[in-house]
Chains A and B, each alone.
Chain A
Amino acid sequence: MRSTALPAPPAATLHWPSQREDAQAALRVEDVYEAHFDFVWRTARRLGAPDLQIDDVVQEVFVVVQRRLADFEGRSELKTWLFGITRRVVRAHLRKNARHKRVTPDDIAELADLTTPDAEARVSADEHTRLLYALLAELDEEKREVFVLSELEELSGPAIADALDLHISNVYARVRSARLAFDAALKRYRARTGRLR
């Protein structure tokens, strides 16, 4: 059999823009910030970042975003990608707080942050919101994360599965147990205070 030389590679490889390049082309960290700052802030608060550390957490998230933006492959929603980063940064802060403190950050956070320029607004923050965060803080991390995504962000089951890297059936089971835990925390609170504040 006559051996044939392998065909020479084309001079210019045909180049299809990948999903990643599409995503990169459209994304600048400033745009991500403008579009998703509220989401990151809310998520950080809901996942338990203390009021006094919220600036640190959000800043750290967007520093990470800039570093990792080139690696964002566009396979998932940007929002779920951001959620992943925010979750990691918040977890790191909470672990650090737990290691270093006798007094929990939530104790201080409950005082209302007086160190920011708009402290007056924070002092008058809605007490219901504080109560919600206090109840979320009673959930364990896994339940809190899935609860935030399903009940507060109202993401679909598949989107939650993507954000938390879970199987869809596990998502539903975890949402169910998180709802039960949240309701139980609310009942405990009502039993303690005798009222819904």
Chain B
Amino acid sequence: MSELSPEARALIARERERSGPTRADRARLRARLDPAWAALRAGQTGAVAATPARSGLPLSRVLLSAAMLSLSLLPREAPHPAADDQPFEQAQQPTAPGGHTDSALAALADSTAHATAEPTAPAPGVKAFSERAPIDGHSHGDAERQQLHATRNALAKAPALARARAVHARHASTDASNAPEAGGREMRATDPSETAATELSAATDSSKTAALRAAQPLAARGAQPRAHPATTASSAKDQSTSDAPSEAPDLRAKAFIPEAIDDELSWLGAAQEALRRHEPTRALQLVQEHAFRFPRGALAQERRAVQLLALCELQRKQAARAVLREIEQRTPSSPLIVGIRRSCGL
């Protein structure tokens, strides 16, 4: 029997070491399954419907389980290949996104409502944002843009997490009030590999915190998503002209306020989820929103990819080609390029 090449063997060995779910995955799925199992045991769909609010299980998932219970779609001998074409999906209701994305989207809706009512926070309506700020922070000055490009190029090949950390650290370092964090976790954005190493050592704590925060709707965290720095700065400017402060203006108020990475993940994650639910228009809206809120965000590369896929889904090939060109210029070695070209027929 022919043997695999050594490269293939090495790849498989690496996957065996690294693949597999995390404890969080196990706990999350268990939390979803316990009510579903209980419902199946009880055979009462009505009883389950009351569980989601407490368990965090999305109602659609419970209904899916109930549907599977009520419809005998599986053969009695489950793994028999003769029945492989039996359509499982007939039992599947159109599933809602994951619970956390549900939360994110709900929070987005909430925050939209809040922001509309609250004049100090900008309404995240896409039209308004697209009028005020073009995607990807082209409103920045040339010097700032060059700095941004330099940083992006330097970090292009670092893992996304390291890039995220490094960019946020760079932003943090511009703020004089941001002292290095306890435990010597000072960021040096000029060396992403060092940053990555430092961050990996601290990943346990930060990921726990991020997991907790990401599990909460944005609205629950702080009523509304944070206002865009430009808006903050302009409102501060307005205030300074009207109130005429006696002290020198606090330059830090206009400085970039680093956003938490999990906020960025929430917005872009919601965009991905919209894409998965075949709502490309919604995905594009969320992408624009992300670009507005995080013009210098660490996940700009991922944002462009989502934007490109959404444009493909809408068959807007010309716009998609423009985004693809941008991706190719910034990250010519991205593995996304080949696949997306093929998928979109670009």
B183 lies within 8 A of chain A by Cβ: no
**Residue pair B306, A111 in contact (C-beta under 8 Å):** yes
Closest residue of A by beta carbon distance from B276:
A52
**Residue pair A107, B343 in contact (C-beta under 8 Å):** yes
Residues of A within 8 A of B18 (CB): 125-126, 128-129
A120-B210 contact in complex given A103-B344, A108-B309, A176-B1, C-beta closer than 8 Å: yes
B110 lies within 8 A of chain A by Cβ: no
**Residue pair A71, B77 in contact (C-beta under 8 Å):** yes
Produce 1/0 per residue, B74-92, CB < 8 A to A: 1011111110100111001
Q: Which 4 A-B pairs have the closest CB atoms?
A: A84-B79, A92-B88, A114-B269, A124-B161
Chain B interface size band reads 35 or more
Q: Main secondary structure on chain B at its contact with chain A?
A: helix
Interface stretch of the complex, out of B19-27, B124-132, B148-156, B223-231: B19-27
**Residue pair B215, A85 in contact (C-beta under 8 Å):** no
B207 lies within 8 A of chain A by Cβ: yes
User: Number of residue pairs across A and B with beta carbons under 8 Å?
Assistant: 249
A163 lies within 8 A of chain B by Cβ: yes
Q: B6 to nearest A CB, angstroms?
A: 10
Instruction: Pick the most buried of B40, B81, B104: most chain A CB atoms within 10 A of its CB.
Output: B81
Q: A76 to nearest B CB, angstroms?
A: 8
Q: A189 to nearest B CB, angstroms?
A: 9
A24 lies within 8 A of chain B by Cβ: no
**Residue pair A117, B215 in contact (C-beta under 8 Å):** yes
Interface size on A, residues (CB 8 A): 87
A62 to B34, CA, bound (A): 10
A172 to B15, CA, bound (A): 23
Produce 1/0 per residue, A155-197, CB < 8 A to B: 0000000011100000010011001101100100010110011
**Residue pair A55, B4 in contact (C-beta under 8 Å):** no
**Residue pair A118, B3 in contact (C-beta under 8 Å):** no
Q: Which of B81, B210, B268 contacts A165 (CB 8 A)?
A: B81
Interfacial residues of chain A within 63-78, with CB under 8 A of chain B in the complex: 63-64, 66-68, 71, 76
Closest residue of B by beta carbon distance from A137:
B339
A107 to B214, CA, bound (A): 24
B98 lies within 8 A of chain A by Cβ: yes
B305 lies within 8 A of chain A by Cβ: yes
A120-B206 contact in complex given A96-B89, A111-B305, C-beta closer than 8 Å: yes
Residues of B within 8 A of A55 (CB): 25, 28-29, 32, 98
